Structure 1
Amino acid sequence: MSALIFIVFVLAGIVKGVIGMGLPTVAVALLGMLMAPQEAAAILVIPSLVTNLAQLLAGPRLGALSRRFGLLVAGIVAGTLLAAAAGATQAPAAAHALLGAALVAYAVLGLGQVRFAVDGARERLLALPVGAATGAITALTGVFVIPAVPFVQATGLEKDELVQALGLCFTASTLALGAALLWTGQFHAALGWASVLAVAPAMLGMYLGQLLRARISAAVFRRWFLLALLASGVIFLVKYVRHA
């Protein structure tokens, strides 16, 4: 592994450690300057899975969150596999543009202090369709953010609970997407070793990010969280415009 790729995964891991998400987006954006997007996505599979599992298991409320968001997770897995079966893993560029626009819109509203809330009854009603939509978008774009992340944030979880709940969703998404890529032949042994080597720098960065998260307030965390969503959306829109 080159020093540049090592640095990319450390930086992506730091972002994930601080806000609980962002490793695929940061890594793909930077690796895209060095290699084909398909190769970058394949290298991400194992470090993404390992860091998501670490995020999931590090929090104090795994059992309670698993029960609470079980329908959401089921929808994510089903949506990903069904969309992959329909050929969605060969994503059109327009899918990335729509994802970017949704991320930007949500982040701007959040930074403008427009709050979203989902109560208990609506949470149970919306969990399965929100999960299915997230899975379909994951199969299209390889990014597991919309609409699951805004939905989970709107349930009112505290900082560390939110990070663990996102770890639950992202672990399910990574496993489902990895299975879909294996099924379609887009993840294979030739890239597996590079993916394994990327685990160490990603975990190092995540550890550093977690240390930083422990030292910031809930308000600062929320602002960083929304800024990261905004940056992710801008990255997707810029990539779409450049390749249009």
Structure 2
Amino acid sequence: MVDHSLFFVVAIAATFFAAGLVKGVTGMGLPTVAMGVLGALISPLAAAGLLIAPSFVTNVWQLFAGPTFAPLLRRLWPMMLAVIVGTLIGSSLLTSGDTVLATATLGAALVVYAAYTLLARQLRVPMRLEAWLSPVVGAATGVVTGGTGVFVIPAVPYLQALGLEKDDLVQALGLSFTISTVALAAGLAWRGAFQLDNLAMSGLAIVPALAGMWAGQLVRRRVSPATFRLWFLICLLLLGAEMLARPFV
């Protein structure tokens, strides 16, 4: 259960505003920022429960903003199906009650994502490999999603490696994040960890998340998205490292 004191309500609102701001500037990052910041304040399980509503609304918006939903779904459905199965399996970690392990795992996921994005070269996946690689990547993404509440590893690098056009990539990310959000909610509900009071607070978090996205779109016109993304990833790397090291200090 989430503490409903004034401090935590303000912290939740500020977190989702910041997460929406990042998404508005970069086109992604709301679940990652929300889980990273809230996971440092409350348990990753409680943070995941708060994530559901704002993540669903903002990602559905992104999903249906593009023109190629049906072709993308036909191309990516094996990956999406595997995301659902992997998330249901992986949710056993997030709901296990081992907060120390869940926090360290969340920290590791943030470090891997930030370090990979900062250091790795852009990959290219030939279309002939998609038939078997998409389900593998989807299952791995699902396990990470179910275990940490973070949707990006390895889905984002894989989708970026498919050579999609810019608008198609944004829509494909929206599809992956929407499916991951729904699957995470289903996994938490299946294991009896989806609390109604958290859902109400999650619904309220939609407002600062949307306000942050609007502000992020304004910031994007004035600040280089590449520079913003660089500092965002550095902060995410440091936050993840702190969470990963927490059990040892």
Shorter-chain TM range is 0.7 to 0.9
- 1:117 maps to which residue? 124
- 2:70 maps to which residue? 63
Matches within 5 A, 1:55-94: 55-84=62-91, 87-89=92-94, 90=96, 92-93=101-102, 94=104
- 1:20 maps to which residue? 27
Give the Å deviation of 1:152.
Answer: 0.3
2:174 to 167, 171, 186: 167
Distance verdict in 2 for CA 1:100–1:11, change over 3 Å: closer
Give the Å deviation of 1:19.
Answer: 1.9
Give the Å deviation of 1:221.
Answer: 4.5
**What amino acid does structure 1 have at the position aligned with 2:93?**
A
CA-based RMSD: 2.5
- 1:108 maps to which residue? 118
Give the Å deviation of 1:188.
Answer: 1.0
Q: Which runs of 5+ in 1 are unaligned?
A: none
Contact 1:10 1:201 in 2 (8 A): yes
- 1:138 maps to which residue? 145
Rounded to whole Å, the distance in 2 between the matches of 1:103 and 1:168 is 19
Contact 2:36 2:110 in 1 (8 A): no
- 1:191 maps to which residue? 198
Residues matched between the structures, number: 236
Distance verdict in 2 for CA 1:189–1:23, change over 3 Å: same
Contact 1:96 1:237 in 2 (8 A): no
Q: Is residue 157 of structure 2 the alignment partner of residue 150 of structure 1? A: yes
Q: Is residue 215 of structure 2 the alignment partner of residue 235 of structure 1? A: no
Rounded to whole Å, the distance in 2 between the matches of 1:226 and 1:196 is 30
Rounded to whole Å, the distance in 2 between the matches of 1:64 and 1:185 is 35
Distance verdict in 2 for CA 1:33–1:106, change over 3 Å: closer
Q: Which runs of 5+ in 2 are unaligned?
A: 1-5
Distance verdict in 2 for CA 1:76–1:226, change over 3 Å: farther
Q: TM-score, normalised by structure 1?
A: 0.84
Contact 1:149 1:166 in 2 (8 A): yes
Q: Deviations over 1:138-195 (max 9, x none)?
A: 1111111111110001112233322211110010001001011111122211222111
Rounded to whole Å, the distance in 2 between the matches of 1:33 and 1:164 is 30
Q: TM-score, normalised by structure 2?
A: 0.83
**What amino acid does structure 1 have at the position aligned with 2:183?**
A
